[in-house]
Amino acid sequence: MATREELKQRACEAIDKNRDKIIALGDAIFSEPELGYKEFKTAEKVKKAFDEMGYKYTDGHAITGIIAPLKGGESKVKVAIMGELDAVVAPNHRCANKETGAAHSCGHNAQIASMVGVGYALAGTGILEELSGDVVLMAVPAEEYVEIEYRNELKKAGKIWFLGGKQEFIRLGVFDDIDIMIMQHTANTVDGILASPGGASNGFVGKLVRYIGKEAHAGGAPHLGINALNAAQIGLMAVNANRETFQDKDHIRVHPIITKGGDLVNVVPADVRIETYVRGANVPAILDASAKVNRAFKAGADAVGAKCEITELPGYMPVVTDKNLVEIMTGNLVELFGAEHVNTNPAAGGGSSDVGDVASILPTLQADIGGAEGDFHSERFEIADKETAYLGAAKALVMTVIDLLADGAVLGEKVKAEFKPQMTKEQYLKEWGHIE
């Protein structure tokens, strides 16, 4: 029986052996970005890699998701390794899809590369047989909460319920037999910091806001119309007037966009639409800010006699990272990159992820691994250090898996035993997803 360190060394050597394949996959996904619930080409790339490794998998989960279960020597603890399939919109990025504007200026391509890298580490190396638990590789769709109207139409058609992929995985029962979930997210390398074990970040609710006015000739008879754009502008100003009431400790963020401002310049706008998030560090603060935002939007309609329709959509839960997983991952990050290159006290993030939804029901960790440069969600984003972003990330993940599942899965059992969920799956679906 090999020691944990021997298993880790074997796994890292396998990743290095398959270095070119892992990098090629990450680059191929980067070059062909797709938006959430549309990642069909990306999914095919993942399935091709699984086929090459001889892994059996199922696909079509939440439209494009893929699941490959790998059996260990025993099945005491089951650990999921996830990577996200989707891109975000950055139409000016050099690799942006010319039709959709999709671009991997979020680093999800590196997530998939590292998740598949774990697959290469375990394929034919004899490591699985020495583990007292199972590993499940998951490619999940639609982490970026975008194209809200499109996804809401998918929901109306019964194809999804949640707008986020991990949320859908929860609903579909994908996590019902999963004990632990770990993954990584690409980060910028700043001041020599290559990795962080992960920290807290905001949750949010999503909103579709529609102002309904009355058309009229904009020049000849504006008095006969009701200007929905004016209503929206007043509503947005009313939202801004509430910002001083948001407390710093709650990390509230409200950032609306107008997706439709009218139809023709010489017609009084009668149909104006807004998408927005209301983010915060905890659920009570999110709900409080959300109520204020709704009140403000409706006030805009009242001011000019328009109507205001607000569709509330379940966003993401705040991310709360499991402390035991942080400790285990930190040790591996230090071993890989050196203590001076690891940030062990990361600040809470203002962004959001459906990782938070998974973390509310089972022990979860999303580590940050460097290698990127340029602003996220912009045309300037690039994967500058593939050794870190692709290969280093894969090594950190598989080393943590080995820690959890080797030696009779003692550490994995400890993580399971000490985890206190915020809610059950049933509570989550009813209280957050409003599924009766």
Classify residue 115 by burial, with Cβ atoms within 10 Å: 0-12, 13-18, 19+. buried
pLDDT at 1: 83
Of the candidates 186, 224, 207, 169, the residue with the CA atom closest to the CA atom of residue 373:
186
Please, which residues bridge with residue 226 across strands? 214
Task: Tell me what pLDDT residue 348 has.
Answer: 78
Cβ atoms 411, 179 nearer than 8 A: no
Give the pLDDT score at 165: 97
The structure tokens listed for 58 are: 């199922």
pLDDT of 351 reads 84
- Token match 């074997």: residue? 10
Question: Residue 61: beta bridge partners?
Answer: 65
What residues does each domain of the chain span? Answer: 4-200+319-432, 203-313
Q: Tell me how far apart the alpha carbons of residues 428 and 434 are, in angstroms, rounded to a whole number.
A: 8
pLDDT for res 424? 94
Residues of the chain falling short of pLDDT 50: 436
Four-residue CA torsion sign, 415, 56, 368, 359: negative
pLDDT computed for residue 435 by the predictor: 62
Q: What is the pTM of this model?
A: 0.90
Query: Between the CA of residue 267 and those of 50, 227, 231, 262, 368, what are the distances in Å?
Result: 55, 9, 15, 8, 49
Instruction: Please give the pLDDT value at position 26.
Output: 98
In CATH, what class is 4-200+319-432?
A: alpha beta
Q: Can you give 3-26 as a three-state secondary structure string? A: CHHHHHHHHHHHHHHCHHHHHHHH
Task: Classify domain 203-313 by CATH number.
Answer: 3.30.70.360
For the stretch 69-121, pLDDT in tens is 999 999 999 999 999 999 999 999 999 999 999 999 999 999 999 999 999 99
Which parts of 281-422 are beta strand (E)?
Answer: 307-313, 349-352, 364-373, 382-383
DSSP of 203-267: EEEEEEEEEE-B--BTTT-GGGSB-HHHHHHHHHHHHHHTGGGS-GGGT-EE--EEEE--S-TTB
Residue 76 near residue 180, CB atoms below 8 Å: no
